[in-house]
Amino acid sequence: MQNQPVQAELLRRYRAHFNRDPDVVAYAPGRIEVIGNHTDYNEGFVCSAAINYGTFFAAARGDGQTCRLMVGDLMQEVAFNTDCAEPSVADTWSNYVKGVLSGLRERAPVSCGFDGMFLGNIPLGAGLSSSAALEVSAGLALARLYGMAVDRLELARIGQAAEHRFAGVHCGLLDQISSLFGMEGMLVETDFRTLEVKNVPLGNDACFLMCNTHAKHALVDGEYNRRRAACEEARDYFATVLPHPVRALRDVTVEEWETHHAGLSDVVARRAAHPISENARVLAAADALATHDLVRFGRLMFESHESSQVNFENACPELDCLVAAARRIPGVMGARLSGGGFGGSVVVLVHPRDAETAGAALTNAYAATFGNPCDVRVIRPSAGATVVQAG
C-alpha cells in the first residue's frame, strides 16, 4: 500500500488520543486534472488521474450520538451531533466530513456517533483536491463503520453535495470520481453527462511533474462560483438561439459559439468559450493518447492553459510563469494549470528521463521571477480510494 508511513503515523496518533484502535481505516488519493478544465459541471469531458499522495481516515463507533473528529496534523478536535444539520463557521475543515455524514444519513440510519481522525500528505491549496480526498476517505470509512452499501458513483455524489451544502463550492464531480476510479499507471477519462468512466494507460514514456506555486487557491472566495454562473448564463442564451436542445455548454460547438457569441456580453462569451473549446481539446487528447502521440497531447495541454488565461481568466502570474518556462525547457511536452485555478499548481508532461532536469529548470525559473522556489514533485497515476483496514 502506498503512503504507508502516513497510515502508520495516523494509527499512532489515533491510539494516543482515543486510547484504542480504530474499527476501520480508509484511504483516498488526491487527483491531477490533466486536461479538461471546468468541463465537468458543463457535462463535458475530462482526462484526470488519481495521484500518489492522499488522505487516510480512521474511525471507531462512539457512545451516544456524539461525533468527535480530529485533524491529525494539527491535533485539533471538534465535536458535533450525528444530525450535523449546519456547517461550522469556526472549524471549517470539519465541514467536509459533516457534509459526508449528512449525505450518508439521507440514505440509511446512523445508529451512533464516531471517533474519527484524518491525516494525509497532499499539499494543501495546491490544486490537488485534498478536500475530495478527505470526503472520499471519510465516506468509505463511515459507510463501512455503519454497514452501508454505497457504490462509487453514489459516494462521489455524496462528496459533491458536501462541497455544495457545507463548503459553499458548487463543484462538479471531477475530483471525487478521479479519487475513486483511479488505477495504477492509468489516466481516468470521464464523460460527465453519462458518467461513463474509462481507465487508459499513460505508458512508460511519460510522467507528470506537479509544480506547487503556493499562490492562493481559495475557491470558496467566490471566483469558482462566478465562473460557473457565467457558464449557466451562456447555456441559457445558447438554448434560445440554437436549433437543437442545449442542456449544458457541452451541447454547443466551437463553430456555434463563433456564430452566436455576439449576443452575450464579452465576459460571459469568453467564459463560455473556455469549456466549449476545452471539450474539443479533451476529445482530441484522448485520441492522441490512444495513438501514443504524446507530443500532440502536450500541445493540447499548452492550448488549454492559453484558454484559461485569455477566456476563463482563472490563471495567475505564478501559474503563467511556470507554463511559459515549461515551453522553453527541453523534454517538456506540455503544461497547464491543474484544478480550479486562481493559484495552486501547474501539471507538466515530461519523459521520465527528463523529469529531474526539467524540475530543476522550472524551480529556477520560478525563483528567478518570484524570489522563492516552487515545490516540484513527480506524480504517478495511482490506485483509487479503498478501505485499507477493517475490524
Distance CA 51, CA 64 (A): 37
Residues sharing a CB contact under 8 Å with residue 156, sequence separation 6 or more, in sequence order: 136, 173, 176, 177, 180
Name the DSSP class of 127. S
> Residue 46 to residues 112, 198, 252: CA-CA distances in angstroms?
38, 11, 16
| The one-letter amino acid at 180 | L
Distance CA 210, CA 50 (A): 13
Sort 291 into a burial class: Cβ within 10 Å, 0-12 / 13-18 / 19+: exposed
> Residue 265 to residues 226, 230, 233, 248, 269: CA-CA distances in angstroms?
15, 10, 10, 18, 6
Quickly list DSSP for 158-195.
HHHHHIIIII-----SHHHHHHHH--TTEEEEEETTTT
Name the DSSP class of 150. -
Which residues is 207 bridged to in the sheet? 350
Distance CA 155, CA 166 (A): 16
> 342 near 126, Cβ under 8 Å?
no
Q: Any catalytic annotation for residue 266? A: no
Catalytic position from the list 40, 115, 175, 251: 175
- Strand order across the beta sheet in which 375-379 lies: 332-338, 345-350, 207-212, 375-379
Which positions are catalytic? 175
